[in-house]
Amino acid sequence: GDSVTQMEGPVTLSEEAFLTINCTYTATGYPSLFWYVQYPGEGLQLLLKATKADDKGSNKGFEATYRKETTSFHLEKGSVQVSDSAVYFCAAIYNQGGKLIFGQGTELSVKP
Amino acid sequence: GAGVSQSPRYKVAKRGQDVALRCDPISGHVSLFWYQQALGQGPEFLTYFQNEAQLDKSGLPSDRFFAERPEGSVSTLKIQRTQQEDSAVYLCASSLEGGLPLHFGNGTRLTVT
C-alpha cells in the first residue's frame, strides 16, 4: 500500500546548523506532499506543502522540493534555531479529499 | 470556534472500560477525520466523515472502535472494552469539503491501565 518513510530521529543539532530530514513516498500516482510540525504540548501544524512535481514548498525558512524522479520530499533549513525543536512529520495524500498518510516522525532537538 | 477542540485532553481508563472521546470541528467544516498516534509513531488513519456520513472506516482496528457524527458537526469516537494496546493519542482533524489544509486538534491522550 501507499506509505511515507522518513529518517529516524532523534536529530540533535547546534544552533545555526544546516538541517536535512529525508522523506520518501511510494510512487503510486501523484500524491500531494506535506510537512507537519508538532511543537511540545501542541497539535500538528501544517508547515509546508507541494502538490506537483518540481514544486517547492517553503515556510519559516524551511523548504522542501517535490522530486518525482527520486520520490522524495526532503525538508531543509539553512540555519536552525532552538525554537525549531519539535517533531516533524512528512505526509502524503494520494486522492483528492482522501486521507493523509504520515511518516513515523523525526524529532529535532536544537542546542544553543 | 477558533480551532478544532477535543475533550478530554487526558483520559485514564482501566482495562475493560468503555471510553468516549469528543471532537468539535471548526464551524462549517464538512470533513472530519480521526487518527490514532501511538508513542513515537506518526498518526494512523482511523475513519473519515463527510457531514454525517461515515465514508471510510477502514482504519478502525477492531469492532470495539466506533465513531459517529449524527448531526454533521460534533463527532464522538467510542472504544469499548479498552485494552492496553489502545493507549495512544487520538487526533481529530477537520477541513472544508475534504480539501486542505487539515486543521488538527491537540488530541486526547488515552492511557489504559
| Strand locations in chain A (E) | 4-6, 11-14, 19-21, 23-25, 32-38, 44-50, 56-59, 62-65, 75-77, 86-93, 100-102, 106-111
* Confidence tier at A8 by pLDDT (50, 70, 90): confident
Task: For A43, name the nearest residue in chain B, comparing CA atoms only.
Answer: B106
Task: For B95, name the nearest residue in chain A, comparing CA atoms only.
Answer: A97
pLDDT at A97: 60
Q: Do A96 and B98 touch (CB under 8 A)?
A: yes
Q: Shortest Cα distance from A52 to chain B (angstroms)?
A: 15
Is the CB of residue A97 less than 8 Å away from at least one CB of chain B? yes
pLDDT in tens, B25-66: 999 999 999 999 999 899 999 999 999 999 999 999 999 999
Q: Shortest Cα distance from B113 to chain A (angstroms)?
A: 22
pLDDT in tens, A26-53: 877 889 999 999 998 888 999 999 999 9
Span A66-89, mean pLDDT? 97
pLDDT at A82 exceeding the cut of 80: yes
Span A97-103, mean pLDDT? 84
pLDDT at B90 exceeding the cut of 60: yes
SS3 call for A4: strand
